[in-house]
Amino acid sequence: MDTSLMLSPSSVNANKTIESSYKLALKQFMNKNLAKSFTLIHQLYQSCFAEYAKSSISENLLIKIINLYLIEVGVGIKEGKFDKANRTLALNSITSNELINQVKSVYETVIPSEILYNYHLVHISNQELLITDKHSYLSELKSNYMKVTGEGKYDRKFMQLVVFEILPTFDEFTAAQNILSINPMFDAQDYAKLMDIQSNKAEIVQQEKLKQQELKRLEQEEKEKELEKQRQLQKDSNIKYKSIKEIQKQYASESAKPNVGTVASGNKLTELRDKLWYLTNLLKIYVKDNSLIIIVVLILLFVSKRFINTKKINLKDKIVDTVKMAFKFSYV
């Protein structure tokens, strides 16, 4: 479609200039140069509504600029390809309702389905960031799709996004079934497709539930193992402490008792000492009473030594006999 259609002659040049910039942004985007493409398309997005209001650009070019901007916003946010500045610009244009309000200023009643498609695709692709209130978003979505007549080129594409993607994401299968039942754009095959989506999602939810249960079981099992380990460590610690205390107690008890071996040894020493004392006293008395006899015996031993070597006299017998004689003499 010629974008200069229905423009005044004075606006044709402006339209061509802006369209050339749009094509350059599109080319850069297709070449995966998102940074340069977004810088250019963001400038076009900011000026396109005012240019359209002045009839400087056609509606067709306006829609193209809006759609390319929405596509780049969605891709840049989802894939993390924006730098901090461009990410902030992109997010603010959606979350502040800046873009949709400007679109509504142009289309007061029915927004073109191609714009609705890309606008809601951005939201559902980045729902964690862009959909903060589920009910508010679904209410806005409903107000959009209820006005779709099915006559537009992109009507079915937008409604397929609603029925097979957005509503199932929020488990709104009843609302999706109601659309299928009253909208002539859909048939029995579409209904069967929705049932498959619902069944598959239920299976995924069940698998996720089982997965979470298994994770919870493993966590509980690990927790119990850790508790058992702590209990065993405490038990071992108590046993060691008890053993040490018992050893200390036993040692203290044994230290307090007299040593039987020491006492017995002491008793023996005392007894031996007493015997030695007795023998010493007895010997003193004997020596005192028999000093003369002892001297005689010693003299005899000295004299007899000379005869022992020559005559080989039995010294032992001789001494014994001599001592006997001495005792006999003492006794007499």
- Digit-coded pLDDT (tens) for 265-311: 666 677 777 777 776 776 677 666 666 666 765 676 666 665 555 45
Q: Express as a percent the part of the chain with pLDDT over 90.
A: 64
Amino acid at residue number 291: S
For the stretch 75-106, what's the b/e string if a residue is b when 16 or more beta carbons lie within 10 angstroms of its beta carbon? Answer: bbbeeeebeeebbebbbebbeeeebbebbeeb
CB atoms within 10 A of CB 49: 18
Per-residue pLDDT of the chain (332 residues; tens, 9 = 90+): 444 456 666 678 889 999 999 999 999 999 999 999 999 999 999 999 999 999 999 999 999 999 999 999 999 999 999 999 999 999 999 999 999 999 999 998 899 999 999 999 999 999 999 999 999 999 999 999 999 988 889 999 999 999 999 999 999 999 999 999 999 999 999 999 999 999 999 999 999 999 999 999 999 999 999 999 999 998 888 887 777 777 777 777 766 665 555 556 666 677 777 777 776 776 677 666 666 666 765 676 666 665 555 454 555 566 556 556 654 544 44
Number of residues assigned to the chain? 332
Domain ranges of the chain: 1-108, 128-224, 274-331
**Angle, CA of 193, 197 and 202, to the nearest 5°:** 150
Instruction: Give the separation between CA 90 and CA 78, rounded to whole angstroms.
Output: 11
Task: Indicate the pTM of the whole model.
Answer: 0.66
